[in-house]
Structure 1
């Protein structure tokens, strides 16, 4: 197994002890080489789950295992070595504005390099061909020596994916990689990630707001809401009704509830409260 979570609950370190947990009682097993999509409304806990699996957030309760070891039972050096087996790609890639794209992409090699190699690559990129080849897969090879602050949001996002390609990660944890891309680029980017994961037999866990792409391309889909798993199913078993329930807005539930008609309002409008939620 790549990851096993048993009754895992997580609270952000900066949150007050009385604050609601970000994740609650998460039980999930993910096999090596599996490709899985995380879906759910904003604030559902998708990013927190990815950060937990990348050992960036420590569970408050429960048992978390990655590649057969419990990361938080290891010492800091062993845990750092384990993190080199993951690649966590955030929605907004952390790239210094004045940095050249070639340097930003080659940062995917940092877990493999010594401090000396990392410093040397800042002055003169160690393997620009690897960066070029990775960028070329996203049709960005002409941006190799461009400055990061000259890129569009979509180009930055694809550079972050090129950074993933130059890594040797065995688990790709990707957070909203398509948010700044048009539909055609979104499908192309997703296909590249899935092809790369399959080629290196790596696990791919991808959070997506594009539910239609998740259902079309991922064999397994996990739905999250309010920090809990609502469903964990093969895609053919995920129905439109399940999706609608996952994304249903609490205001819609209130608006849909029957209410007594009030004087001064037509009989088909129960009250102002029944109408106002639809305006936001």
Structure 2
């Protein structure tokens, strides 16, 4: 089992103790190697849930296990080691603008490197071939030695996904990886992520605003609204009525938490060719 949540509630670290929880009473189990899409309106709590799974947001109620372990019952060093088995890819990749792409991609190995190895790789990339191979899967190999600030928004998103490929993570927690991509690039990027997850039996949890893409490509879909799970079902069981209910009255139900990203792109046309 990759993740198990029972009655989990989460507040943002900056919130007052009396403020409403960003996630409320969530119960969810995700098996190792499973591929799951999170959908729901902006402010629903999808980003907060991904951060909780990544052991970045500590629940204030309920029980949480990652790989069968309670990360918040561990010391800091042990928790860092556990986090090395997880890869959290935010919607806006934290790529230093003046850094070369090769260095930004190889940062996916930082959890496994010593401080000296990390410093040495800044001066001379430790494994430029691995970075080139990862970038080539997203048709970005020609950007290997370019500065990050010369990339477009979509190229930065795919660079972040290349970073994921060079990591040794056993769970990919990916937040809106397609928001800056056109439909063809989005389909290709998602296919690469799913193929990589399947090849290493890694768990893939991906939040998406492209509902039809989620329904076409993921075997399991979890609908989240106002910090709660509205449904958790195989894609064959997810109906148009369930989708309508999920997004109905969204503006009334939720105010976007600080960790949720703005700038929704809207649903893309149905893409039938998925991994």
Is residue 2:196 matched to residue 1:190? no
Q: Is the 8 A contact 2:41 2:250 kept in 1?
A: no
1:121–1:252 Cα change, 3 Å: closer
Q: Runs in 1 of length 4+ with deviation above 6 angstroms?
A: none
Structural mapping, 1:138-149, within 5 Å: 138-149=138-149
Q: Per chain length, whose mean CA-contact separation is higher, i.e. which structure has more relative contact order (CA < 8 Å, sep 6+)? A: 2
Distance 1:250 1:159 in 2: 32
Tell me what 1:136 maps to: 136
1:136–1:250 Cα change, 3 Å: closer
Structure 1 gaps, min length 5: 254-280
Distance 1:109 1:204 in 2: 19
1:101–1:250 Cα change, 3 Å: closer
TM-score using structure 2 length: 0.91
CA-based RMSD of the aligned residues comes to 1.1
Q: Alpha-carbon deviations, 1:173-226, whole Å to 9, x = none?
A: 000000000000000000000000000000000000000010000000000000
The aligned length equals: 253
TM-score using structure 1 length: 0.89
Give the drift of 1:60.
0.3
Tell me what 1:88 maps to: 88
1:103–1:20 Cα change, 3 Å: same
Structure with higher Rg: it is 1
1:251–1:98 Cα change, 3 Å: closer
Is residue 2:233 matched to residue 1:233? yes
Tell me what 2:37 maps to: 37
Q: Alpha-carbon deviations, 1:153-192, whole Å to 9, x = none?
A: 0000000000000001000000000000000000000000
Tell me what 2:181 maps to: 181
Structure 2 gaps, min length 5: 254-275
Is residue 2:229 matched to residue 1:249? no
Q: Alpha-carbon deviations, 1:37-79, whole Å to 9, x = none?
A: 0000000000000000100000000000010110001111111
1:78–1:231 Cα change, 3 Å: same
Q: Alpha-carbon deviations, 1:76-122, whole Å to 9, x = none?
A: 11111000000000001101110000000000000111100000001
